[in-house]
Amino acid sequence: MISSRATTKVIVVGGGGTMGSSTALHLTRAGYTPSNITVLDVYPIPSAQSAGYDLNKIMGIRLRNRPDLQLSLEALDMWTNDPLFKPFFHKVGMIDCSSSDDGIANLKRKYQSLIDANIGLEKTNWLLETGEILEKVPAFTKDQVQGWKGLFCGDGGWLAAAKAINAIGHFLKYKGVNFGFGKSGTFKQPLFAADGSTVNGIETIDGTKYYADKVVIAAGAWTSTLIDLEDQCVSKAWVFAHIQLTPEEVKKYKNIPVVYDGEYGFFFEPNEHGVIKVCDEFPGFSRFKQHQPYGASSPKMISVPRSHAKHPTDTYPDASEETIRKAVARFLPQFKDKVLFNRSMCWCTDTADANLLICEHPKWKNLILATGDSGHSFKLLPNIGKHVVELIEGALPSELADAWAWRPGGDALKSRRGAPAKDLSDMPGWRHDAKI
Ligand code: FAD
């Protein structure tokens, strides 16, 4: 296979998003001929409906299992050293904090796992007492952080997300990769060779037919609406809002670590325009409706994303306004009366075990799925595509292949979160256009 890199044609559906753009990048880096690579998406790269189309995302190390740890460490190395990605990594550190007994016990367990992992991370991570949290974030007040404990991760920080995907887009254009966006980039169905089971291309909703040796479907939260994944992925929305700081206020928050509390949410230092993003932490919102993905024999209940890009008047449920305000009151009490703007939902897709779903479709040869992000995969932008290319070439290491295999069963609605997702149909407040 490796000898045919120069001649193998690959289509990447969802190539304007996180895993898709990374795949296209690694195809070019591995020596595939750029004019043999076709990147398709509903929106031009960086796709406005990608979960990665955002001001910032957390870069942290996941210790949950060996594949997660391996992937995080590879990503950390590339965000730190790869010239394409380096400009977008703000290594300000991250404080995982809590003031509840359970939360503090979790922080201690996590710290112990870092020591047990024995990969040097304990040198850049340490437990913080209240006073040390104040040193890291001088804008916090003593009263505010009374009783808090923190786990500081010096290797962490934040990633300028949409800008990083944009940089991949520029690189792909410069290399001469083919693009199809809009109706001629929007996947409709796979095309098959005469045997009826070998995929040899795809058709987009305007009727354009693209032919290739391999087709990668990296359509994020939309993947399960395009191809029947047998309920392995449930797509869910998470929410965020922005607050605007004055130049004086910005000075107090510049260069602080990302602050995260699993019972409240997280926030980032202000960006170059003085905007702070605040997220709450909750099990996500589903949007179930009758829908028939390709390969399903009849319509079935599927959680179908509804993007802010397509529905710009959508905000988030009233319940999210409360929880985001609660996070603001916890982290930034002096801003609790500030206007929240850009209040949005952003779509990811959970698997039951929170591992990725990166495998060849079991029935359709040459159709590669690269999805199941489970809400924690932006950080993998620099390296995930390398492993998709390994899969295309039949060279994915078995530990990764096993973790990411086709595996129906399990509860992707709850996944490994504290509770199943609530459905948007039960959550008033987010929809502001006419009901269809
Ligand atoms: P996406 O990046 O969403 O890409 C899917 C692409 O498919 C899109 O470009 C879309 O336009 C395209 N597409 C859809 N339908 C079609 C079609 N029919 N034809 C062609 N193309 C199509 N991760 C972290 O690592 N750190 C964080 O701090 C973090 N914070 C998050 C905060 C929020 C609020 C949310 C929602 C997510 C967060 N994540 C974070 C998760 C991360 O954003 C996702 O895991 C990751 O971006 C998913 O990548 P993906 O490639 O699977 O999907």
CA distance 98 to 262: 8
For residue 272, pLDDT beyond 90: yes
CA distance 224 to 235: 8
Report CA dihedral (342, 61, 401, 415) to the nearest 10 degrees.
-50
Q: What is the mean pLDDT of residues 144-148?
A: 95
Mutate which of 64, 210, 307, 376 for ligand 1? The one with the most ligand atoms within 8 Å of its CB, which is: 376
Could you tell me if the CB of 356 is within 6 A of ligand 1?
A: no
Reported as a pLDDT band with limits 50, 70 and 90, residue 126 is confident
**Axis-axis angle for helices 66-81, 384-392 (nearest 10):** 120
pTM over 0.95: yes
pLDDT digits (tens, 9 = 90+) for 205-260: 999 999 999 999 999 999 999 999 999 999 999 999 999 999 999 999 999 999 99
97: which residues sit within 8 A by CB, 6+ positions away? 107, 128, 133, 148, 149, 150, 151, 259, 260, 261
Instruction: Respond yes or no on whether the N-terminal peptide bond of residue 46 is cis (omega within 30° of 0).
Output: yes
Nearest Cα to Cα of residue 153 among 97, 205, 200, 103 = 97
Cα 17 to ligand 1 centre (Å): 6
Alpha helices, H only, 6-143: 18-29, 66-81, 101-117, 130-136
For residue 123, pLDDT beyond 90: no
Running DSSP on this structure, what letter comes out for residue 139? T
Tell me the three state secondary structure of residue 86: helix
Quick one: 91 exposed, middle or buried, by C-beta within 10 A (0-12, 13-18, 19+)? Answer: middle
Cα distances from 254 to residues 145, 245, 249, 311, in angstroms, run 19, 11, 9, 33
Could you tell me if the CB of 375 is within 6 A of ligand 1?
A: yes
116: which residues sit within 8 A by CB, 6+ positions away? none
300-303 and 10-13 beta bridge pairing: unpaired
Alpha helices, H only, 207-286: 223-226, 247-253
- Using the atom order of ligand 1, give the atom closest to the CA of residue 186: 19
| Phi, psi dihedral angles at 57 (to 5 degrees) | -135, 155
Specify the pLDDT at position 78: 98
Paired with 152 in beta bridges are 95, 126
Could you tell me if the CB of 79 is within 6 A of ligand 1?
A: no
Helix (H) or strand (E) run with residue 166 in it: helix 161-175
Token pair 């029935």: residue:
363
Q: What is the ipTM score, two decimals?
A: 0.99
Could you tell me if the CB of 19 is within 6 A of ligand 1?
A: yes
Specify the pLDDT at position 47: 98
Cα 159 to ligand 1 centre (Å): 14
Token pair 């591995």: residue:
30
Mutate which of 72, 89, 324, 378 for ligand 1? The one with the most ligand atoms within 8 Å of its CB, which is: 378
Quick one: 23 exposed, middle or buried, by C-beta within 10 A (0-12, 13-18, 19+)? Answer: buried
Specify the pLDDT at position 120: 84
Specify the pLDDT at position 257: 97
Could you tell me if the CB of 38 is within 6 A of ligand 1?
A: no
Specify the pLDDT at position 121: 82
Paired with 59 in beta bridges are 157
